[in-house]
């Protein structure tokens, strides 16, 4: 597996997106987002997505120059039409607007429809926490990409509907929870499948609802399915996913899950809460720090070094990966090389 410096891989992602017709400043936003996902250890939402996005640009599903269009603006919120643009570009614009509105009136909620894959949604809530606010973000696949069983069901009805919530912390990085409402997101199963590796226990079932470790069964005909977060209490993950479908799909106009809904397109609801309207930001941030320290000080189970707080493991991975470089699976790398050839881009040297 080839390994690259993060900056080189980011430049490559940007050049390839530009090769497909993306304006340079927008390609830079997407490339930065993707490499940050790799650095967080979420390769399922990293540079490999360039392949998918170039495909969608070329078949017309993504309009690479698409920008957010504010179609409604009211006191505490806004409605955005994403003009079928790149999800990371539209998601960023929606987040900046939510922050701006929250500064003005204490809270800002922004809905987004007609945008493409929004990627790692913790990116948006982190931006909000860095602005001194609480961030919330919910995403669905516009009612498409149904690969998840509702609890007790035998047919795929939902997408992996992620949720992210963030809060600033005094003298430390914001706390950011960022997760799919399934045991594993589809991209992580795909990565196992492409690497010819088994999926861990509890990630998926076959088309008959039987637990399986065979990642290829998710892509078989008839396909297997992802299971909701929670294992034996998967009704909790299912209920959460369903309500996210309402927030991110129904409220936004992107669409909730229904028969014959075709991907591509994400629905996104992003919300910023200006903490200072409720209590002094410094007090709040210190209390968040106290809470995190209380968790850190918990005596641990055998084999566990320390109790972590949300977002911490991603920062640990980032520090290590900036040092070691980012590896790219051979299959992904070979496909990226084909794009390099096509767009006349010189691939970076290995680290």
Ligand X SMILES: NC(=O)c1ccc[n+]([C@@H]2O[C@H](COP(=O)([O-])OP(=O)(O)OC[C@H]3O[C@@H](n4cnc5c(N)ncnc54)[C@H](O)[C@@H]3O)[C@@H](O)[C@H]2O)c1
Q: Which stretch binds ligand X (CB under 6 A): 65-73, 98-106, 120-128, 338-346?
A: 120-128
Task: Determine, following the binding rule CB under 6 A, whether residue 310 of this chain makes contact with ligand X.
Answer: yes
Q: Report the nearest approach of ligand X to the CB of residue 178 (Å).
A: 4
- C-beta closer to ligand X: residue 110 or 345: 110
Task: Determine, following the binding rule CB under 6 A, whether residue 122 of this chain makes contact with ligand X.
Answer: yes
State how far the Cα of 148 lies from the Cα of 167, in Å rounded to an integer: 29
User: What CA–CA distances, in Å, run from 28 to 23, 44, 120, 140, 146?
Assistant: 9, 19, 16, 24, 30
Q: Which of 36, 43, 93, 178 is close enough to bind ligand X by CB under 6 A?
A: 178
Task: Determine, following the binding rule CB under 6 A, whether residue 233 of this chain makes contact with ligand X.
Answer: no
Task: Determine, following the binding rule CB under 6 A, whether residue 38 of this chain makes contact with ligand X.
Answer: no
User: What CA–CA distances, in Å, run from 136 to 82, 178, 239, 260, 268?
Assistant: 19, 10, 18, 29, 11
Task: Determine, following the binding rule CB under 6 A, whether residue 179 of this chain makes contact with ligand X.
Answer: yes
Q: Which stretch binds ligand X (CB under 6 A): 78-86, 113-121, 210-218, 338-346?
A: 113-121
Q: Which of 132, 135, 142, 162 is close enough to bind ligand X by CB under 6 A?
A: 162
- Count of residues for the chain? 351
State how far the Cα of 169 lies from the Cα of 176, in Å rounded to an integer: 10
Q: Which stretch binds ligand X (CB under 6 A): 5-13, 18-26, 65-73, 304-312?
A: 304-312
Determine the residue with CB nearest ligand X: 179
Other Cβ atoms closer than 10 A to 305? 6
Which of positions 16-35 make contact with ligand X (CB under 6 A)? none
Number of residues that bind ligand X (CB under 6 A): 24
* Rounded (to 5) percent helix, strand, coil in the chain: 45, 20, 35
Residues 6+ apart with CB under 8 A from 214: 198, 199, 206, 224
Task: Determine, following the binding rule CB under 6 A, whether residue 47 of this chain makes contact with ligand X.
Answer: no
Q: Which of 33, 39, 45, 245 is close enough to bind ligand X by CB under 6 A?
A: 45
String of contacts with ligand X for each residue 249-288, x by CB under 6 A: -----------------x----------------------
Q: Report the nearest approach of ligand X to the CB of residue 112 (Å).
A: 12
- Could you tell me how far CA 176 lies from the centroid of its own chain? 12
Radius of gyration from C-alpha coordinates of the chain: 20
Task: Determine, following the binding rule CB under 6 A, whether residue 185 of this chain makes contact with ligand X.
Answer: yes
- C-beta closer to ligand X: residue 113 or 117: 117
Q: Which of 46, 119, 265, 347 is close enough to bind ligand X by CB under 6 A?
A: 119
State how far the Cα of 176 lies from the Cα of 314, in Å rounded to an integer: 10
Q: Report the nearest approach of ligand X to the CB of residue 104 (Å).
A: 28
Beta strands at 107-115 and 77-85: parallel, antiparallel or unpaired: parallel
State how far the Cα of 137 lies from the Cα of 119, in Å rounded to an integer: 12
- C-beta closer to ligand X: residue 26 or 145: 145
Two tokens, residue 4: 């690259």
Other Cβ atoms closer than 10 A to 300? 9
Q: Which of 233, 313, 319, 338 is close enough to bind ligand X by CB under 6 A?
A: 313
- C-beta closer to ligand X: residue 238 or 347: 238
- C-beta closer to ligand X: residue 303 or 344: 303
CB 282 within 8 A of CB 169: no
State how far the Cα of 135 lies from the Cα of 120, in Å rounded to an integer: 14
State how far the Cα of 84 lies from the Cα of 53, in Å rounded to an integer: 12
Angle (deg, nearest 10), helices 330-343 and 49-58: 40
- C-beta closer to ligand X: residue 279 or 316: 316
Two tokens, residue 298: 């918990």
Q: Which of 33, 63, 120, 192 is close enough to bind ligand X by CB under 6 A?
A: 120
**Residue numbers of the site for ligand X (CB under 6 A)?**
42, 45, 117-122, 139, 160, 162, 177-180, 184-185, 188, 266, 308, 310-311, 313-314
């Amino acid at each position: 597996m080839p390994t690259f410096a993060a900056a080189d891989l980011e430049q490559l992602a940007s050049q390839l997106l530009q090769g497909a017709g993306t304006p340079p400043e927008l390609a830079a936003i997407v490339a930065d987002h993707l490499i940050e996902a790799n650095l967080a250890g979420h390769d399922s939402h990293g540079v490999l997505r360039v392949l998918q996005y170039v495909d969608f640009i070329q078949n017309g599903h993504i309009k690479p120059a698409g920008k957010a269009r504010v179609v409604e603006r009211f006191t505490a919120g806004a409605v955005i039409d994403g003009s079928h643009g790149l999800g990371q570009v539209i998601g960023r614009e929606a987040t900046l607007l939510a922050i701006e509105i929250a500064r003005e009136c204490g809270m800002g909620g922004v809905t987004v429809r007609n945008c493409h894959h929004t990627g790692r949604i913790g990116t948006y809530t982190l931006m909000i926490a860095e602005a001194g606010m609480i961030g919330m973000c919910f995403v669905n696949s516009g009612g498409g990409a149904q690969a998840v069983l509702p609890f007790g069901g035998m047919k795929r009805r939902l997408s992996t509907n992620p949720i992210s919530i963030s809060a600033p912390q005094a003298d430390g990085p914001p706390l950011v929870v960022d997760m799919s409402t399934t045991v594993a997101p589809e991209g992580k199963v795909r990565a196992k499948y492409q690497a010819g590796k088994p999926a861990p226990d509890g990630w998926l079932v076959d088309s008959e609802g039987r637990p399986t470790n065979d990642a290829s069964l998710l892509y078989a005909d008839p396909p297997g399915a992802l299971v909701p977060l929670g294992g034996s209490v998967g009704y909790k993950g299912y209920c959460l996913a369903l309500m996210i479908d309402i927030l991110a799909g129904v409220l936004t106009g992107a669409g909730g899950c229904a028969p014959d809904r075709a991907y591509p397109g994400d629905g996104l609801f992003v919300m910023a809460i200006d903490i200072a309207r409720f209590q002094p930001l410094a007090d709040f941030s210190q209390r968040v720090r106290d809470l995190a320290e209380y968790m850190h000080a918990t005596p641990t189970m055998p084999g566990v070094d320390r109790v972590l707080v949300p977002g911490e493991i991603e920062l640990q991975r980032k520090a290590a990966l900036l040092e070691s470089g980012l590896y790219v699976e051979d299959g992904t790398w070979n496909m990226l090389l084909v794009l390099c050839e096509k767009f006349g881009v010189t691939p970076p040297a290995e680290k």
